[in-house]
Structure 1
């Protein structure tokens, strides 16, 4: 198994990990600390379409009322079955990306390694 890689579709998260700003400094410090415990995995950008199943599950998770409890799924829920089938069959999607987003990603070289604060 290769090294761990963390993907986010939030360019703001990449920016904050690179340059923490108030009022997020404390939580960014905690995130960096957790990343160090994971042996400093690479944190990089991925468009939502890159892992649509994770996006669907995250949206479902945000609707849960129990915020401090882990939910362990024994099998994929019905809401992701269609997308899993598409992934298995190699169905791809395309997306138009504006130049501002491309420039932001280029500044990060689409790759951010967390620095020790």
Structure 2
């Protein structure tokens, strides 16, 4: 989880998507499934966008290296883990721009456990 100083929501979403793919590749987190709440990112990945073509190319390359994992749109309300992480981030000092958890925070573990039952 982290923060960004990018003004555009779309750009922030795209950079977060890229960061997530980079982490998945770096730590060999496969197989994975992509769930994203920003339909515009999905459309841009499929159809390109002149303002983001380099970043979209990098995302497509990361997806290829990850074995082209399946992806789907997930409504924001369905992703309680993301909401939990946003709440945890708000509690932390903003000195760090990015935090990678070795073990999920308690609130995330509760949400994940609830999904498996």
Specify the TM-score bucket, using the shorter chain as the normaliser.
Answer: 0.5 to 0.7
Whether 1:66 aligns to 2:96 is yes
Deviation at 1:39, TM superposition (A): 0.7
Kindly indicate whether residue 38 of structure 2 is the aligned counterpart of residue 13 of structure 1. no
Instruction: After TM superposition, give the deviation of residue 49 of structure 1 in Å.
Output: 2.8
Q: Judging by fraction of residues, say which structure has more helix.
A: 2
**Greater CA deviation, 50-59 or 22-31?**
50-59
Structure of greater relative contact order (alpha carbons < 8 Å, 6+ residues apart): 1
> Larger Rg: 1 or 2?
1
Paired residues, what number?
83
Q: How does 1:49-88 map to 2 (within 5 A)?
A: 49-58=77-86, 60=89, 64-67=94-97, 71-77=99-105, 80=107, 84-85=109-110, 88=113
Structure 1 stretches of 5 or more lacking a match?
Answer: 91-117
TM-score where L is the length of structure 1: 0.54
Match of 1:44 in 2: 72
**RMSD of aligned alpha carbons:** 3.0
Q: What TM-score comes out, normalization by structure 2 length? A: 0.54
Q: Give the 3 Å change call, closer, same or farther, for CA 14–77 of structure 1 in structure 2.
A: same
- Offset, 1:57: 1.6
